[in-house]
Amino acid sequence: MRRKHWERRLKFTREGKYFLGITLGVGLAAINTGNNPLYLLLGMMLSLIIVSGVMSELSLRKLSVRRRLPKRAQVGRAHLVEIEVWNDKEQVPSYAIEVEDLRADQPADKRCFFLKISPRSTQVAAYRRTPQRRGIERHSGFRVATRFPFGLFEKSRELDVDEELIVYPAVDPVRLPLRGRGDSSGDVGPVGRGLGEETYAIRLMREGDDPRDIYWRKSTVPGQLVMRERAHELRHDVHLRLDDLRPLPLPSSLSSEEAFEQRIRDVASLAVAHIQRGDRVTILTASGKRIVGDKSRGLDPVLRFLALIEQVEGAPPSIEVGGSLSVIGETAA
Amino acid sequence: MRFGLVHRAMTDALAFLGVLSLVVGGQFSRPLSIFILASLALAIGLKEKWRQRLSQRHVDAVSTAILIATQLGRAFFTSASVLDLLIEFAVGLQVIRVATRNGAAHDQQVIVLALLHLIAGTVVGGGLGYGLCLLGLIVVTPGALVLSHLRREVEGNYRQGARDRTGLPVDVPRILRSKRVVGKQFIAVTCLLALPILLFTATLFVVFPRVGLSLLLLQKPRGERMIGFSGTVNLGQIGTLRSDPTIALRVTIPNLPDPPPARRMMYLRGTALDQYDGRTWTQSSRSLRTLASAGELVRITGTPAPDEAPWRVELEPFEPPVLFVTPTTKAIELSKTGNITPGLSLQLQTGPEGEFRYQAPSDRMVRYDIYPSESGEPNFTRLRGSQRGRYLEIADALPPRIAELAAEWTRDANTDFERAKIIESRLRTEFEYDLASPSGSEAQPLDHFLFESKRGHCEYFSSAMAVMLRSVQVPARNVTGFVGGTYNKYGRFYAVRQGDAHSWVEAFIEGRGWLSFDPTPPGSAEPQSEMDGALASFRDFFEAVSQRWNQNVLGYDLAQQVSLFDSLDLRDSSSLRGLKAPRRRVAVAALGLALVGSGLYWLYRRRRRAKAGSSGDARVTRDALTAARLYRLLDRAMAAAGVRRFDSVPPLGHALALERRGHPLSSEIRSLTERYLAARFGNVPLTDEEQRDFERRARWLQRAPHGSGSNATRADTVETLETVEDPSKPGRTFDPSTRRHRSHSSPPATTVSSSTEGVSSYELEAATGATDPESDSNERLGRRAALETPVISINVDLGDEASPPPSEVESD
């Protein structure tokens, strides 16, 4: 449900409660004694409250907030969320603005503070956050608050700015088993040229060559550009199996969810390690889902797949716990 | 102006005004007032490092403990009032706090204490001096509160380890030294907040119902409010009063000649004393009888005519609570107060010597009307035979030669009136007026006055005459009251001061009643502190304002409130009709002028804005800034896709060049570039959907297969700082590294910086166009700073319209 732009929340601060208490006391004393200076004082204190309300409204008005999320986030790894606040007012600066980033309608534990936002300008601040769960993190909006001008109460408004951040599963360092002959030299095959990362040979540049392959270190003679020929690479195909079926309740120290998360973490760690080594990784789930990743596609598709996968109901309990690895064969890259 | 300095000045002013509101209310004795003000001035003048040193050595705690012990001791072992002790304690606490304050929390304590002083001031004072202090507080309080709040926010939010956009640690002292947070405009605006606050205060003051419940009256005992007039006369004590210029009462007399006489010798009788023991005059009876309630006319010798205008008297609180009337008053009426106070009401009483007293529920100014008799008939015309004896009593201690002197002086007189006139005349002509009469220290002061010194003040003269009249069998009594009155042209009243206090004689003359005789030499009864010239004019003005304050603020009650609302009832526009024609015209003209003025000002502002916009000096719009950010994204995507745009190539030129070369991404790049240009320079707004679409397409470009391979990796990890055209200065570019403009002909400054994931803390200022892609440098700086921040990245804007470079912020 969209929030109305005029909706405000008001909360008295500790100082505000004291001030209100004193004001009520003065009011009672004034009514009791009929002492006109007390009425004056009461008027002044109530006026301060009214002016405070008007000023805080001025400070909050015409503020818009935008969030800049990182391109990727990972469980257990800190990232920064950038908060940009615009003051669209013509003349009036906004003071002492606090912005809370709301996630799934729950206040965030971090706030960004802006001492002064000049009229018709913007300011950016950021807060650091470490996600604890993989999956889609929904940022629903912002709570913009100020205690300006007197700190008597905190006025806030909420803005709807929906955004999603996909949090990848955590990845642990994995020591992969050594490959067979030739593996340790970067999978360079003994035959011919290819499109691998390693250098196969060096020769003078010819017409039609991709200029991106110019070997600048050797191209010192004017007019004689030297090309770097790439070697043919062999690539391992790795299949990882992931059990995404919800098991029946079993006497275990780990709950089903925790065990599933642990499996995802294991599979993610293996997948990342393999892809970084140059292997092509295929992840197969028990429910039939599949994703293929390799170095050319990067880690994102695989991690995104693992970030969004959920347990499936209604299947027999899985015997294996954790990810299983099987090397199917070798493919030319 | 430095933030910390302004904050300190405003808090000091608040503390000073709070204490001053108590001092001007007469709460403290003069030496104590001087001591308090001097201590506070010393505390305010202390250097910051001394304050910190005092705070570190816990001087505040020790001083407070000593102060508490002192006040407790005084409460238990002296007869000091608890309220006085508490007020003194609050003042002492303020002095200690101001001297040892250190941080925003202490400043807030200073403000709270000032507020408490102001509340205490309503109990102990409330006069014009208090009103002026309140006015000053209304002006200063908003600024002090705002700055205290900001300082508290700064201290609370900028915690240890936080860094600003420049990557420097944010430390509170640096912000407090900054001149950019608080400018002249800020101070002017916060002080101008006093206007709405004043308006609200006045409105609330007027409309708040005046219903006094009197559940718990916390007012000072009346004895403390005495201002000099006494129920007894002790020879030798009146001298101090003669130099006191404090106003005792104000008399407004109708139908005065034009110009009114500057000084008028009005005899205002307070009380009469019938018993003299040789030194002191007292009353032998203390019986009181209630005559009427407030608002009821009391006839003394006659009935005033329906159209007869009375003298209006405003009397300061007195002890004893006596009403002063002329010796020839025919009727008196105590004015009603409009406050509803259950169980208590203002009443008029009469005492044994014909004096009028009042009984009031509160310690306020009393107003009453008196109707002087045109025929000069005295107030009291009868004397019962049983009463005659006490007016003829002479103290045994008095030497007989006083009676002998009286007999000698009146030897040739045949009537009591002649005897009285002879004694009055002889005293007036043969004796001197002297406030410092040596007779006061003698065992028989009256005898010494008549036979030795022959010098004395009014009480010697009146006592001598009364005693001498009694010795020749003429009933007489000593009367105390006031004589005189100085005209105040601003307030149009006669001010009667303490210095006008006087003593004279009433003698009962058979067939005529109690007649007044004044044996004091004429001209000697003038107050000793009379002033003239500009000083007197200023004093009169102050007293007139004070009278208005007393009437309209301190005396504002339910009756005035009802009367005010009746006059404001606009249902039949009677209030407007009730205004005289010229006044109505002036009111309508003023209203019209205000409306026209507001309209003209609005037009002027609108035109000025339009002019600023058309002159190209307009600030970069929000859409333009957003577009710049999006194009920055596109730039990165193009670099990743292997079609990087170089600094020297304009965005559209780059897109067209790609198109000419037949690059497969050219159509998409051109489409995005044109959208950017439309938003950036064509004022075509970008909707949120369009922004998301732009970002999505730019990301797609970044991942496009044409950009795969090592080039994409290089483009992602190495960025070149670019310059863009500054929209506010066509033909020139803006270099964020130096934050200066340069022409296109000069080579762009390039900086290579590794890109990291994350976000930055930086400032975008529309005024300088710094939100363009060139602000990447700030971003990178901020990224590094933000990544080092342990908890939260905080942005400090110390800039006003044009943000300064980080180095300037630091040097504040």
The ipTM, to two decimals, is 0.71
Contacts of A115 in chain B (CB under 8 A): 150, 153-154, 157, 175, 181, 796-797
pLDDT confidence bin for B679, thresholds 50/70/90: confident
pLDDT tens for residues A297-319?
Answer: 889 999 999 999 988 875 554 44
- At B231, is the pLDDT very low, low, confident or very high (cuts 50, 70, 90)? low
- B110 burial (CB, 10 Å; 0-12 / 13-18 / 19+) is buried
Task: Please give the pLDDT value at position B171.
Answer: 67
pLDDT of residue B476: 92
pLDDT of residue B354: 81
Distance of CA B126 to the CA centre of its chain: 11
What pLDDT is recorded for position A33?
Answer: 78
Q: How many CB atoms lie within 10 A of CB A221?
A: 9
pLDDT of residue A170 exceeding 90: yes
Percent of chain A with pLDDT over 90: 17
pLDDT at B39: 92
**A128–B789 C-beta distance less than 8 A:** yes
Taking CA B367 as the corner, what is the angle to CA B365 and CA B373, rounded to the nearest 5 degrees? Answer: 145
The pLDDT of residue B15 is 93
Q: Give the pLDDT score at B763.
A: 30
Query: Inter-chain contact B795–A29, Cβ cutoff 8 Å?
Result: no
What gap in Å lies between CA B772 and CA B633, rounded to an integer?
A: 11
Predicted pLDDT at A279 = 84
Residue B722's pLDDT is 31
CB atoms near residue B32 (< 10 Å)? 13
- pLDDT at residue B525, rounded to an integer: 56
Chain B touched by A79 (CB under 8 Å) = yes
Question: Does the pLDDT of residue A194 top 60, yes or no?
Answer: yes
**pLDDT digit string (tens) for B558-594?**
777 887 777 766 555 555 555 556 677 788 888 889 9
For chain B, say whether A308 makes contact (Cβ under 8 Å).
Answer: no
B197–A51 CB contact, under 8 Å: yes
Tell me whether residues A80 and B787 touch, CB distance under 8 A: yes
Banded pLDDT at B19 (limits 50, 70, 90): very high
At residue B622, does pLDDT exceed 80?
Answer: no
Q: First CA to last CA across chain B, in angstroms?
A: 11
Measured between CB atoms, does A2 come within 8 Å of chain B? no
Mean residue pLDDT across chain A: 81
| Lowest pLDDT segment from B578-582, B646-650, B737-741 | B737-741
Q: Do A82 and B759 touch (CB under 8 A)?
A: yes
Q: Is any Cβ of chain A less than 8 angstroms from the Cβ of B622?
A: yes
For chain B, what is the mean pLDDT? 75
- Per-residue pLDDT tens digits for B46-78: 887 887 777 777 888 888 999 999 989 988 888
Q: Which residues of B touch A199 (CB under 8 A)?
A: none
pLDDT given for residue A133 in this prediction: 87
pLDDT higher than threshold 90 for residue B92? yes
The pLDDT value recorded for residue B466 is 92
- Residue B150's pLDDT is 85
Judged by CB atoms closer than 8 Å, whether chains meet at A123 and B763 is answered as yes
Q: Choose among A40, A93, A98: nearest CA to A65.
A: A98
Q: How far is CA B631 from CA A331, B634, B637, B688, in A?
A: 41, 5, 9, 15
**What is the rounded distance in angstroms from the CA atom of residue B300 to the CA atom of residue B179?**
73
Q: Which residues pair with B604 in a beta bridge?
A: none
Q: Under the phi-then-psi rule, with left for phi > 0, alpha for psi from -120 to 50, and beta for the rest, what region is B715? A: alpha
Residue B120: helix, strand or coil by DSSP? Answer: helix
Chain A residue numbers with beta carbons less than 8 Å from the beta carbon of B763 are: 121-124
More confident: B645 or B757: B645
Residue B741 has what pLDDT?
Answer: 39
Give me the pLDDT at residue B672, please.
92
Query: Of A232, A48, A96, which Cα lies nearest the Cα of B181?
Result: A96
From first CA to last CA, the distance across chain A in angstroms is 51
Strands A73-74 and A153-168: parallel
Q: What pLDDT was estimated at residue A179?
A: 63
The per-residue pLDDT for range B106-164, each reduced to its tens digit, is 888 899 899 899 888 887 777 888 889 988 988 888 888 888 888 888 877 766 556 65
Q: Phi and psi for A216 in degrees, rounded to 5?
A: -65, -30
CA distance B583 to B146: 41
Q: Does B426 score more than 60 pLDDT?
A: yes
What is the average pLDDT across A72-87? 89
Contact criterion met (CB below 8 Å) for B187 and B5: no
Q: What would the pLDDT profile of B341-399 be if each residue is shown by its tens digit? A: 555 677 888 888 888 888 876 666 788 899 988 777 777 777 777 788 888 888 888 88
3-state secondary structure of B82: helix
- Is pLDDT larger for residue A267 or for residue B608? A267
Instruction: Give percent of chain A above pLDDT 70.
Output: 83
Q: Residue A37: list chain B partners with CB under 8 A.
A: 121-122, 125-126, 130-131, 134, 553-554
Chain B residues in contact with A95 (beta carbon < 8 A): 150
CA distance A147 to chain B (A): 8
Mean predicted confidence (pLDDT) in B610-625 = 60
pLDDT of residue B230: 61
CB B376 within 8 A of CB B249: no
pLDDT score recorded for residue B343: 55
Taking residues B734-738, report their average pLDDT. 37
Of A48-52, B5-9, B657-661, B771-775, minimum mean pLDDT range: B771-775
Residues 193-232 of B with CB under 8 A from A: 193, 196-205, 208, 210-219
- Any chain A CB within 8 A of the CB of B795? yes
Q: What residues in A contact B757, CB-CB < 8 Å?
A: 70-72, 79
- Answer yes or no: do A126 and B710 touch at CB < 8 A: no
> What integer pLDDT is reported at residue B204 of this predicted model?
87
pLDDT band at A212 (very low <50, low <70, confident <90, very high): confident
Cβ-Cβ pairs closer than 8 A, A with B, add up to 232
Mean pLDDT along residues B777-791 = 34
pLDDT band at A148 (very low <50, low <70, confident <90, very high): confident
Whether residue B459 contacts residue B474, with contact meaning beta carbons closer than 8 Å, is answered with no
Give B603→chain A minimum CA distance, Å.
Answer: 16
The span from the CA of B541 to the CA of B521, in Å, is: 32
